[in-house]
Each structure stands twice: as C-alpha cells, then as structure tokens.
Amino acid sequence: MRVAGATRNPTGPWITQQARNYLMDLGDRAKSISFLIRDRGAYVTASSDAVFQAAGRRVVPTLPAVPRMNAIAERWIGSCRREATDRILITGERHLRLVTSEYADHYNRHRPHRSLGQRAPDRLTDPDPPIARDNPPSSRRDRLGGLIHEYTQVA
C-alpha cells in the first residue's frame, strides 16, 4: 500500500499530478503494477486515467453498487484507522500525512500478513523467518511514539 497524498479538496488536476508523482516515485518497480482499481469519484478524471494508461497499465473503475470490488483498499483503510489514526489525536493535515505514511511503511515492511505466509508485502522474496526456540534475544522498535512495536530476532 502506498499513500499518494492527502488534501481536503481533491481536484482533477491534483489527482493527475498525484498519479504522475506515484509512477515517478516507483521508478522500475512500476513494471510490477498490471492495473489500477479506482473508485468513481467525480475528482478522478480522464487525464488521471491517461497517466496510467500511457505507462501501459489498465485502469478499472469500480462498478456502481459493488462494494466488494474495492475491498483491498477498504481493508487497508480500516486497518489504518483501527491500529493508528483512531488512537492518536491528529493535529492537522501535516500530522495526518506523517501518521499515515509511517503506518504504511510499517504495513508494507514489517506487519505480518496471514495470506502472505506471515510475511510483509515488501518482504515476499525474503527466506522463511526463523522459528523461535528457547526464547532467543529480540529487539524492539517503536513506531508512532510507541503506539506500534516491531520485534525482530537478534542473531
């Protein structure tokens, strides 16, 4: 999951620029994206779709009255709310960007996903995690001021 941007008033040109920025940030990793599933918001215009289509990606708008079609994004939004934003007093737009980007980094690089064999999405090519035996030493890293703890085994 990548957080492209946040604004109170999304407009067509703003969405188009976010699409350009996103593909530019991905660089060579953009080749791994086959398609983009997007909602039918009025702020999404043909020019933002054209950015992905020019990069050779298929744009699939969600169908009306089919809420399960956007289930992956809704699942991430729910996880982000339950695990981060509902537990922090957000003081402004800049703080919201900081919290969501920090949570997205945790979600992609550390948080285990059952459907991915207890791996994080960015760590699918890593070898299987070692099996803990006899209380091996571990280290803890706090994220979001101690709201989220990441544990790793020390070699």
DSSP letters for 57-99 = -EEEEPPTT-GGGGHHHHHHHHHHHHHTGGGS---SHHHHHHH
The pTM of the whole model exceeds 0.95: no
Tokens found for residue 130: 């070692």
Q: Which pLDDT value is given to residue 155?
A: 63
Of residues 107 and 114, which shows the higher confidence score?
107
Q: What percent of the chain has pLDDT over 90?
A: 15
Number of domains, the chain: 1
Q: In this structure, is residue 13 part of a structural domain? A: yes
Q: Of 24-33, 58-67, 92-101, 103-112, where does mean pLDDT reach its minimum? A: 24-33
Q: In this structure, is residue 24 part of a structural domain? A: yes
User: Model confidence over 31-78: pLDDT tens digits?
Assistant: 777 888 888 888 888 999 999 999 888 998 888 877 777 787 788 888
**Structural domain boundaries enclosing 36:** 1-61
Average pLDDT of span 107-131: 77
Residue pointed to by tokens 């994004």: 73
What is the C-alpha separation between 59 and 51, in angstroms, rounded? Answer: 10
